Structure 1
Amino acid sequence: MIMSKKQINIFLWIFIFFIASLLFYYFMVYNRNSSVDNKNINYVRAKVLEVISSDLTEEGNISGVYIGTQELKIEILSGKFKGQKLILTNSRLHGDLVYDVVAEDGMEIVLAVKEREGQPPSFGVDTYARDKVLYILIFLFIFVLIGVGRIKGLMALISLIITGLLIAFFMLPLMFRGYSPILLAIITASIVIFLSLMLIGGFNKKSLAAIIGTSAGVVIAGIISLISGKMAHLTGITGEASEQLIYIVSSFPINIKGIMFAGIIISSLGAVMDVGMSIASVVFEIHNRSPELSRAELFKSGMNVGKDIMGTMANTLILAFTGASLSIMILLMAYNMPYFRAINLNTVSTEIIQGLSGSIGLILTVPITSIVSALFISNSSRKNFNND
């Protein structure tokens, strides 16, 4: 399918935006310093040729958790020591299901190579090599997306890539430098919404209505979460990764509390965009089929469809946050924690506020997009309006 002139223009603007982003990253972000000394440590791929010996004891009642050591014969597959074979001891077995590595013949692992001046390099088992599985899934996702969606799928893929680049090279580095996470999340979300909906829907009133409705929904979700978080005295510390940030705050002005609220904005972005574009498409399609309908009737039609959509999409957000906190809920049940104690825990309150704030923003996207779409259909366009 040949791209239209509008789509080519959009690609040109995206290219300009991409070049500008690279220049911004290079001059504003790239030259940052780090308090973590990783300069002498490199990570390489290695293959376990043989497990020479295993002195392992199964720990507790959890299957697959061991304590002990393994003697391994490995071959390094990447880096400056590529092709080198050596024998090392795998001491990464402490009964920790998250970080332990139980090596098997033929398995690929990640080695940490530490080099010091005047000393031979030291090698240690770091983790499993999981990247190939991820690459296969990414390829499958791209194949399915483009195979089913064709040109729309390609546009969606480009939109997804832009989103990833914005988060990785704009939002996160500037958070690292101490800028407001909430402001950065709103800016990032606004750019993502504009580029994504323009790519998928084209440059027209329908896309503009979806952009306005979606942006309003995301901002509302962020404001509600911010106000609720302050009233509930949330700390922003919800897991091990958040706790580790405390130790680098002394070196970098990272706003830990703001990161949580920024996460709510970004996590609700996809669902809110889906609702916004769906409602705008419905209103404009109904107008194309029945141009004699008034703005009030078009708004009512958008609301009727939106009521069906918001139920499933609100469930999507709530279930996403619930799934992320499933282990916490099981832990609460295991300790038979009283309801009053559990509901007031920082972690539980945070998850509830995240889910409800995103869902409220999503629900309010429906009436906002419906009314904006109806207003964009002018009196003259009712007679001969052709939305592309």
Structure 2
Amino acid sequence: MGHGHGRHAAPETRTMFRVALWIVGPLAVLTLAALVWLWPSDGVSPSDNEAQEHNARITEIRSEPCAEGVPDDVNGCGQATVEIDEGSEAGSSVDVVLPSGPGAPVVDEGDAVVVIASEGPDGQIYSIVDHQRGLQLWLLGGVFVLILLLFGRWRGLAALFGLTVTFSVLLFFVVPAVLEGESPLLVAIVASAAITLVVLYLTHGLTLATTVAVLGTLASLALTGVLAMASVALLNLGGVTDDISTAVVSTYEIDMRGLLIASIVIGSVGVLDDVTVTQSATVAELAHANPGYRFRHLYGAASRVGRSHIASVVNTIVLAYAGSSLPLLVLIVANNNSLSDVVTTQLITQELVRSVVATTGLIAAVPMTTALAAFVIRNARPERAERGD
């Protein structure tokens, strides 16, 4: 989102704009009512995990030779002294064993780390589990905001507000509602509709072209949801494919199949609204540049733009899913010589379903949005443009 589409406002009449709002208005009211109905009452309850995390700093490392048969990897063998920085134990120093094994953080004296304290036979046991990254993330976020505002200016500021809305809906509505036992798919549909309605109007303004993009996005999301449900059922996907999903279903008893479908729907929102805004704005620009264009001219020209856009975005979707699963792909392919066996595993099939369903919804969004935009904007022209046809 936030591409700066639609430099010229669509040549709209009050009547057509009012009709568009009559359609979007009830959808917005329905979405708001669903948000209120599904909104979690108790928030997220903490899990019954006895381990407690603390921010700490390494003050000393005492290395020593590893015992016979013990691998000398990552940090070697020995102990470290860490000083707790927060909580009731702030200022106290404890000794911990240097972290080792695959994925263990590489540490040095002075590093800011995260330690967990768990109960053992002889009292509390402390372990270093990660580095602290809060300051670095704030710096990275600050650079991102600065670049966005310098380049995007007021449109960039609107995009930041839209990003805030998106994260707020995900963190304060989607996750707590799913943890409270609501249907993941229903929550995802309501959240996606809310994000679409708020973010598109906030970023691109209250125009007829934006309204068309909203309707095209919502229609495409509905199709994506139906395809996701059908595909997951047809391929017998359960949604439990790794340790994280296993922990989620065993700890919180969440419907993982529904959560899989919900993730496909939510993951499609960002790409869908980019395509629908582009198509709607393209039709508006064509109508502004060529007042004599009829419906078929607007639809044909904008569709050619849409095909070019789809060709690049489809590749982006597939690469995004492949990139997030690359370590898994390496492991599966390295341990199995049969391509057919690799592709049909639940984990790979699940990623293929994500890509195929999202891509199908994306492709369908182009003709639907383009046709709607061409019809609405063509019929919204001032009368003098009509006499020039």
Q: In the alignment, which residue of structure 1 is the partner of 2:111?
A: 107
- Point out where structure 1 has 5 or more consecutive residues left out of the alignment: 1-16
Aligned residue for 2:196, secondary structure, equals helix
Measured after TM superposition, the shift of residue 218 of structure 1 is: 2.1
Alignment of 1:322 onto 2:322: yes
CA-to-partner distance for each residue in 1:137-196, whole Å, 9 max, x for gaps? 221211111111111111111111111110111111111122111111111111111111
2:313: which partner in 1?
Answer: 313
- SS of match in other structure, 1:30: coil
> Structure with the greater relative contact order (CA < 8 A, sep ≥ 6): 1 or 2?
2
Change (3 A) 1:92 1:270: same
Give the stretch that moved more between structures: 159-168 or 102-111.
Answer: 102-111
Aligned CA distance change for structure 1 residues 108 and 158 (closer, same or farther; 3 Å): same
TM-score by length of structure 2 reads 0.82
Corresponding position: 1:158 with 2:161:
yes
**Which of 66, 71, 92 is matched with 2:79 structurally?**
71
1:288-323 Cα distance to aligned partner (Å, 9 max, x none): 121221122111121011011001111111111111
1:298 match: 298
Match among 37, 46, 51 for residue 48 of structure 2 = 37
- Hey, what's the Cα distance between the residues in 2 that align with 1:69 and 1:126? 16
In structure 2, what is the Cα distance between the partners aligned to 1:224 and 1:26? 24
Match of 2:204 in 1: 201
* Local SS of the residue matching 1:48: strand
C-alpha separation in 1, matches of 2:200 and 2:43: 33
RMSD: 3.1
Sort the Cα spacing of 1:122 and 1:338 in 2 relative to 1 into closer, same or farther, 3 A. Answer: closer
Q: Distance in 2 between matches of 1:60 and 1:222?
A: 51
Q: Which residue is 1:332 aligned to?
A: 332
Quote the Cα distance in structure 2 between the aligned partners of 1:125 and 1:56: 19
Other structure's SS at 2:381 match: helix
2:40 pairs with one of 14, 18, 28: 28
Distance 2:207 2:64 in 1: 65
Following the alignment from structure 2 to structure 1, what is the Cα–Cα distance between the partners of residues 69 and 269? 42
Q: Judge which range, 123-132 or 289-298, deviates more.
A: 123-132
Alignment of 1:341-356 (within 5 A): 341-356=341-356
Which residue of structure 2 aligns with residue 81 of structure 1? 89
Give 1:232's match in structure 2, choosing from 227, 230, 235. Answer: 235
CA distance in 1, matches of 2:196, 2:375: 20
Q: 2:40, 2:180 within 8 Å by CA — same for their partners in 1? A: no
Q: Give how far 1:220 is off.
A: 1.7
Give the counterpart letter for 1:28 in structure 2: P
Write the deviation string for residues 47-94 of structure 1: whole angstroms up to 9, x where unpaired.
112212345589999xx9448643222222333333x1424022542x
Q: What SS does structure 2 have at the residue aligned with 1:46?
A: strand
Which amino acid is the alignment partner of residue 53 of structure 2?
A: Y
1:380–1:262 CA distance, 2 compared to 1 (3 A)? closer
Bigger CA drift: 256-265 or 67-76? 67-76
- The one-letter code matched in structure 1 to 2:107 is A
Task: Map 1:364-375 to 2 at 5 A.
Answer: 364-375=364-375
- Name the counterpart of 2:218: 215
1:7 is matched with which residue? none
Q: Judging changes above 3 Å, is the alpha-carbon distance between structure 1 residues 204 and 182 closer, same or farther for their aligned structure 2 residues? A: same
Question: 1:46, 1:109 within 8 Å by CA — same for their partners in 2?
Answer: yes
Structure 1 distance, partners of 2:131, 2:68, is 19
Q: Are the counterparts in 2 of residues 181 and 255 from structure 1 also a CA contact under 8 Å?
A: yes
Question: Please, which runs of 5 or more residues in structure 2 have no aligned partner?
Answer: 1-28
State the distance in 2 between where 1:59 and 1:338 align.
36
SS at 2:60's partner residue? strand
